[in-house]
Amino acid sequence: MAIRHIIRKEVRQHREWMIRTFAAAMSVATQRVFLILLTSLTGLSLEEVFGAAFWLGIGVNLVVAEVWINHTRASSRSAERA
């Protein structure tokens, strides 16, 4: 999607898809943090907490990305009006 938007010179949409892509890529690192936290706090094995850590890693990053996109989208609209 990001490539399609930049080819069409739709920079705003390209930027939003690149933020989502970066968030998805960083979810691997976030998953590791959740693995450590969940195994430390619950005493369960890595195999037992892997699924939860996987979805938390993806979910948290994508939610933060969408909040950032919506926040900066609102800021850019108000700046364009001024």
Given the structure tokens 């909040």, which residue do they identify? 67
pLDDT value at residue 28: 94
Q: Which of 29, 31, 35, 32 is nearest to 47 (CA)?
A: 35
| Domain residue extents for the chain | 2-81
Residue 57 exposed, middle or buried by CB count within 10 Å (0-12, 13-18, 19+)? buried
Query: Any idea of the CA torsion for 59, 64, 70, 76, to the nearest 10 degrees?
Result: -150
CB atoms within 10 A of CB 19: 18
pLDDT value at residue 82: 52
pLDDT value at residue 80: 61
pLDDT value at residue 1: 85
Q: Write out the chain's pLDDT in tens, 82 residues.
A: 888 999 999 999 999 999 999 999 999 999 999 999 999 999 999 899 999 999 999 999 999 999 999 999 877 666 565 5
pLDDT value at residue 74: 75
Token pair listed for 29? 């690192």
pLDDT value at residue 51: 95
